[in-house]
Structure 1
Amino acid sequence: MIATILLSFGVLFLAELGDKSQLMALTFSLRYRWWVVLSGITVASVAVNLIAAGVGHFLGTALPANAIAVVTALTLLVVGLWTLRDAIGSGADSDDAPPPSTRNAFLVVISAFMLAELGDRTMFAAAALASKNGWLAVWIGSTLGMVAAGALAILVGKLAGKHLPERGIAFASGLLFLFFAAKTILDAFVPGLGGWGSTGLALAVPAVVGLGIGAWRFTRPGRTAAPIADQPANALP
């Protein structure tokens, strides 16, 4: 059992490195307290890996991959647009807005992670391990591996947040979520493109969105002209 736990931990931890779930953990760590994000990841990991271990043990790895890919892509799209909305929020109004409550943040993290992990490669990896090993050991090891990878992303997010502009990180993260959403759909429904083909097409989505946002911010009315009300009274002729 110990060997299976260690195997599952290693497989899930390595599978999570650089995955969209780590990106999600990093992004949430810029918005919420670290312990809220880690707690949400832990609860979501326990639930998702229990499903994966149960499916792998009792049903093999037979999962509706295309349907799950659509749900995953929609989740990533919503999180990406939400992140971009906050990143391009208007000046002081967005910076001075009160942070969400701990309860709401906790529920947001759990929901986002569970939906994003359903049908992800890590879930299939856990299901495959459970089809050949004890489901309980796979569940424990997979959960620990996923939580450890999330904790690493949270640490990176907190360290990066101290040296890089939070708004810039959030903007880049939002575009990356859009990239993962597009790539998830392409990999599921257009497998003939291959890895490089789907990556190239998926990159067009955040590129177009990023250019569009940049053009809108540059050309929006009132960007350069200061309102008269903001000028000192003695500046009037």
Structure 2
Amino acid sequence: MEAFFAAAALSFGLIFVGEMGDKSQLMAMSFAARYKLRSVVIGLVIATGLLFAVSVGVGATVGHLLPTDWIKLAAAILFLGFGLWTLRGGEEEGHQVKERKSGLLTVIGAIVLAEFGDKTMLFAIGLGSQYNPWGVWLGATAGMVAADLLAVFAGAWISKKLPEKAVRWGSAAIFIALGLVLLAEAVPRLLP
């Protein structure tokens, strides 16, 4: 039991610090400004739990086989699409209700794709190969959720203080910027 708590504490600390200022925090802030808070929080918990379950399960021995550059390329395209989709507007009431219903799946998909192959996933792979895997999973999941919740609450606060159009343009800018960064990381590695 001591090994479980040690693994959980170590994982929590490393992942929490590793997430500060990371793209998932920017995404969480943007999602919180656009979707229902409950959908964003549940989406973060599900995505993070899945992500770290895969990370810990994979372990360090097969981590080098994952095609992370292709996953980054897919994530880049997805973020550019999110950015353009966000810019399209749709301030009528029916559109906003429809958007909010789709927020949960959007959050889950975006977080999993953006974080797949990221440093926190690699941390969890390494920790999972050396420490109690259940402790690593719990600590890593809690650490990322805690770090991203800071951004979620900031995004929710911002959405109440700024006009909807400013939130939409800011969210679109974040998504497009993240898409361009991921594209810049993935494409050079994929070209011969």
TM-score (norm 2): 0.84
Question: Would you say the 8 A contact 1:20–1:177 is kept in 2?
Answer: no
Moved over 4 A (4+): none
What is the deviation of 1:57? 5.2
Which of 137, 143, 151 lines up with 1:145 in the alignment? 143
Higher Rg of the two aligned structures: 1
Q: CA RMSD in A?
A: 2.2
Tell me which protein shows more helix as a share of its residues: 2
Question: Would you say the 8 A contact 2:68–2:116 is kept in 1?
Answer: no
User: Quick one: distance in 2 between partners of 1:35 and 1:53?
Assistant: 27
What is the deviation of 1:141? 0.8
The SS at the match of 1:100 is helix
User: Quick one: distance in 1 between partners of 2:146 and 2:64?
Assistant: 24
What is the deviation of 1:16? 1.8
User: Quick one: distance in 2 between partners of 1:120 and 1:84?
Assistant: 27
What is the deviation of 1:54? 0.9
User: Quick one: distance in 1 between partners of 2:34 and 2:162?
Assistant: 14
Which of 33, 36, 55 lines up with 1:33 in the alignment? 36
1:79 maps to 82
Matched, 1:174 2:172: yes
Percent identical pairs in the alignment equals 38
Deviations 1:34-90 (A, max 9, x none): 11210111111111110011112552454222112112212222222222223xx5x
Quick one: higher RCO (CA 8 Å, sep 6+), 1 or 2?
2
Query: Which consecutive unaligned segments of at least 5 residues does structure 2 have?
Result: none
2:14 maps to 11
User: Quick one: distance in 1 between partners of 2:61 and 2:178?
Assistant: 30
Moved more, 56-65 or 141-150: 56-65
TM-score (norm 1): 0.70
1:96 maps to 93
